[in-house]
Structures are given as C-alpha cells and as structure tokens.
A and B are shown apart, each in its own frame.
Chain A
Amino acid sequence: MSILSPSVLFVIFSGVMIGIIVGAIPGLNGAIGISLLLPITFTLEPQIGLLLLGGIYMGGMYGGSITAILLNVPGDVVAAPAAMEGYPLTQQGRSKEALYYSIFSSMFGGFIGVLILIFFTPPLASFALKFGPAEMFFISLSGLVVVGALAGSIYKSLFAVLFGLFISTVGVDMITASQRFTMGNINLRSGISVVPVVLGLFCLAEMFLNIGKKATEVVEYKDQDINKMTVIKDIVRQKSLVIKSSLIGTFVGLLPGVGTTLAVFLSYGEAKRVSKNPELFEKGNVEGIIAAEAANNATVGSSLVPLLALGVPGSPTSAIIAGALIIHGVILGPSLFVQRPDIAYTFIFGMLLTVVAMTLIGAFGIKYFSYILKIKMEYIVPTVLVFTIFGAYSLRNNVFDVLIAIILGVIGAIFKKTGVPLAPIIIGVVLGGLIETNLMRSMTIANARQVSLVRYMLTNPLAIVLLVMVCAIFYVVIKMRATTKTQ
C-alpha cells in the first residue's frame, strides 16, 4: 500500500486534525484522542490505523500550544513554556506571530524526531533480534525508569508502576494455568486488557475532574498581521537553537519511559541559559516558544523508536499505540520488522507525512483555532464519556470491560488528586507481560543449565551492557529531574 494514496493521506490529515483539536481543547489531549479513536482503528488495516493514531500524537503535541498561547491555559504540562512565552505575546496583540513560531518550530522538531525514527529504528531492531530472554528482561526493565523521571513523589511514581504491573498479572497464568487475582470472576480469567485501563485512567478520570469547570473563555481574535515567511526566516536564523532543542527532545524521547515534559523544560531552560536576552523570558520571548515546541514534537518520532525496535514504549502515548498494535495481533519488538515489515515501514515513513500535515493545517488554520476554544465542557464531557463506554466495550465485545474502565476511572481520578501519576500505570500494564515472560524464560534456561538466575543473566556480555545501560538511563533521568527542578 502506498503511503501517498488518497485514502492514506486522508487518514493522516484526519488524524492530525483530530490531534490538533483534542490537543487544543482544555481538558483533552493527544493521549485521550488516541484512546477514544482506538476502536475506529479495529476496522482499518493495522498500518492505516497506526498512522491515524500517529497523526493524532503529532497533532496533539502541537495543539496544546494553541490554548497555551491564546488563553494561557496549557492543556498539558508540556505546553507550559508555550503559555509562559506565548500568552504575553497574545496580550501584546501578537498571538498570530506566537502561533506561527509554535507551528514552524514544531515542524522542525517533528522532522528531526521522525528522521531519527526512520534511520535508527531498523538497525536497532535488527541488532535487537540477537537478544535473548535476559537481554529482553533488562530492556523491558529500562521502560520502568519512568519512576525517576516524573515530578512529585518518587514513591508515588514507584507505586504507580507497581500498580500497573499488578494489573498485568490479573488473569490465568499462561505457564501453570492457575488463576491470579481473579476472585473467581470468569471475566477476569483472560486478564485486564490495556484498552479499558487507558480509557479509564486517561479519559474517564480526566472527564470526572472536568465536571464543574466553566465554559472555555471565548477569544476575540484581533491581531497584528505577520507574514509566515518572516517567521520561518527568523527560525532559520536561529538554527542552532532549533537544532539543539530538537536534539534534546530526540534524546529524551529515545530514553524509554522518560516522556516529553523533561525534554521541553530542559530545552526551555537551555534556551534561557544561552539567550542574549534572558530577562525577556516569561515576558513574550519567541526563543522560549521555539525551544519548547521544537523539543516536544521531536519526542514524538524518537519515543516511537524503542517501541518499534524493542517493544518498549517510550512515552505514555506510545504505550497506548502499543496497545493498538497488540489489539491488531502485531507482536511488538524487533521481530516486527521481520514478520510485518509492511506495517513497520509504512508507519515510520508515514510519520513524515504527519509532520507535513501538521504544518499545513497549523499554518493555514490559525484563524480558525479560536473556534475550537468555543466548545463548551457541557458538550465535551458527556460525548467523551459515551465514546469511552463504546471504546471499552469494542475491544472484546465484553460489557465487563466497561465496568473495568469505570472502576479505573474512579481510581484514576482519586490518584490524580492525590498526586499519583497515571502514565507509569499504563507503562506497567504494557510491560508487565514482557517482563514476566522473559523472567520466566530466563529462569527455565538457568534451571536447564543448572546455574543460578543471576549467573545466567550476567553471563552474556550483551546482558551486562544492557544492565549497565538501564542503570545509566536511571542515573541520567534522576540527574535531569534534579536539573529540571532547579530550573
């Protein structure tokens, strides 16, 4: 299937458009958009469905900056720097300029991230084919370093990961056929799927907490006119800032589980550090917008590298995309490029088109963005709730999954209010099976060789290198966390 065929282009543009809309609506974000549209992908070919989700991911990452710039309401924490620099510009009547800086910086960042995805993923995947259970165990473990990356209490993050792993253990154990945590319920025997977990934690919990929020502020769109080319030329003039921010985003995105927030704040902090006019930051400095927006879109492509090459999601959103792949019967990890190269290559090259679509929609749709902000919460909340019920049901055509989503929605809302992060739960659910399977395989091999598990795992030099890598990633993440806190 050609990625330039009209139907594929339509899906990509639709995905990006949906991503920008859900990203721009306060209270929604790309992850919610992806979760809600998961059921739609069941009817599409896997690669087309994935491109739809990839488009939402890319568009959602940019869309968050629209409300941040126009309303000073960052839909997500990653859009906070865009609000800090963009809203002062809006107050000066320069919102169009700020939005142009945002979209074109996102474009540069997005391209760099996707190029890394294209050039890094296939060689990394072919290298990863040499991995045995011990190596895969350490790689899966690396995804859990997310606990060190998040702001707030490390214990709460650790609990969140463990809670996700716990959810992954519910059901019949495939090796001994014994039931774990099913409490005798027949519906729990087949385990808890990632889809109701995602829908419950991301959509329902978010909607619960949106209940009672007043209608979004209506924006009067009176603005100074500015030429797109003026902005593009200025961004090109600041190429070192764009490239550095994109590379920061790319590097952070590559670290499994670390996420976008760190990337955005690191680039923003670095831009402020090297700026000739640091005193203008938080007063409407376009350098801050360029740095933050280039970094956040660069993470999109690079965070998909560990998912496609190793089967380890690099961000909560890619964890949801992992769920979509699993639903389509695609086995994640290095074998994806051997067994389903059609899916893998269509997806990674199609992601380039998501950047093009985002740029076109973003650059030409600026005057219409204010209309998105007029959608009231009283229309959004009930619609999302009904969509969520449908989404939870549609995976296995089982009403019990709806109940799971509702229960996790209530738990998720309580967790959000008590400072327990939700993203590590999803990553725990996705990685739980992979970690346990590889641990069990390692134990079986160790028993067969009559050596201890630790000795078996650390016999192979590759496994030792991976273990060191896991420790190094954890160290880097903790250092980054400390740096971000200081900034």
Chain B
Amino acid sequence: MGAVWIIFSIVAYTQIGGLPAQSALFPKVIVYGIGITGVLIIIDSLVKVKKGIKTDESTLTKSVLVFQILIPGSLLFITYNLLTVFGFYVSGFFLIMAVFFYQTYRANNTKMNLRHFLRGLIFATLNIATMYIIFTVLLGLPVPRGSFFN
C-alpha cells in the first residue's frame, strides 16, 4: 500500500511542475505528505515484520475485489454511460434490476427463476415510479436527461 501512495505522490508531483509557485505551494505540501506517509507505512511494516507482529489489517481479498467492488462498480459505470442515452429513469430501472438479481445471486447463490424475475420487475417498476413521483412530479428536481428519454 505504501508503494501505491508513493507512486501516486510521484504522479501527482509531475502535475504540479508548471504551476505558479503560489498555486503549487499547498498541493506540493500535500503531495510530499502522501509520499512521506507511504515511506513511513513501508518502514512501519518492515519494523513490525522484524518484531514478528502481525501487520496486515487488510481484508481485501481477490473475491471481495472482484465480486463486491469491481462488478458492482462496472454495473454503475454502465449505468453512468446509459444516463446520457436513456436518461435517469430508464438507466435507474436497469441498475435496480441488475443489482437486485446480482445481490440475490450473491446472497443466496441461487439461479434466477420466473418468480424471482417477476419480483425484481415489480420492485424496479414500483421503485422508479416512486422516484418519478417524488423527484419530478412533487419536487420538480432535474434528473439526467438522455437522448431518447428524460
């Protein structure tokens, strides 16, 4: 992790180069700070390893990264791209359906059947209808507009 922060600070530092001194001062202090923190965490880990103290507080496993972070993140990223084409309500409907099925599959490890599909469909429809009534009809708040739908 320390190495990642050091790399991050180096990359960020390269972005400060062309800035006027006054603008660069505060970001420079922060970027130095991140780099130094990276170095300190590496030293801390090495010292703990030497003393035989358990160092890894991380619970980030490959399974968590893929199934709990990257796949839901990708679903949201797809929704983000759909927003500009289909607008908020259609994209939101897609997201609710997708996450509903994914969540049920992950929690219960069951394949989707017709009953489950209908439950998701009703839930997504009711959810989006409620949001439409609250956001658009009652509050008149703007929502992302798509090329095809609002």
Q: Which residues of A contact B (CB under 8 A)?
A: 39-40, 42-43, 152-153, 155-156, 158-159, 162-163, 165-166, 169, 173, 175-176, 178, 180-181, 183, 204, 207-209, 211-215, 377-379, 381-383, 385-387, 389-390, 393-394, 397, 399, 402-403, 406, 409-410, 413-414, 417-419, 435-436, 439-440, 443
CB atoms of B26 and A439 under 8 A apart: yes
| Cβ-defined contact, A413 with B76, below 8 A | no
What mask results when residues 55 to 96 of chain B are scored 1 for a CB within 8 Å of chain A, else 0?
001111000110111101100110110011000100110011
The reply to whether A156 and B41 contact each other, CB–CB distance below 8 Å, is yes
Q: A153-B44, A417-B58, A418-B60 are in contact. Are A212 and B144 (CB under 8 A)?
A: no
Q: How far is the CB of B9 from chain A (nearest CB, A)?
A: 9
Do B127 and A42 touch (CB < 8 A)? no
What B residues does A178 contact at CB under 8 A? 19-20, 23
Known: A213-B107, A440-B22. A382 touches B99 (CB 8 A): yes
* B49 contacts chain A at the CB level, 8 A cutoff: no
Interface of A is mostly: helix
A-B contact count (CB 8 A): 180
In the complex, the answer to whether B30 meets A162 with C-beta atoms within 8 Å is: yes
Bound: A286/B92 CA distance, A: 45
| Max count, chain A CB within 10 A of own CB: residue among B34, B59, B107 | B107
- Which B positions have Cβ atoms within 8 angstroms of A? 1, 5, 12, 15-16, 19-20, 22-23, 25-27, 30-31, 33-34, 37-38, 40-41, 44, 57-60, 64-65, 67-70, 72-73, 76-77, 79-80, 83-84, 88, 91-92, 95-97, 99-100, 102-104, 106-108, 123-124, 127-128, 131, 135, 139-144
User: Across the interface, do B58 and A386 meet the contact criterion of CB distance under 8 Å?
Assistant: no
Select which of A152, A165, A403, A410 is within 8 A of B57 by beta carbon: A152
The smallest beta-carbon distance between A198 and chain B, in angstroms, is 16
By the criterion CB–CB under 8 Å, are B41 and A153 in contact?
Answer: yes
Q: CB-CB < 8 A to B58: which residues of A? A: 417-419
CA distance A399 to B146 in the complex (A): 11
Expressed in whole angstroms, the Cα–Cα distance for A436 and B1 within the complex equals 28
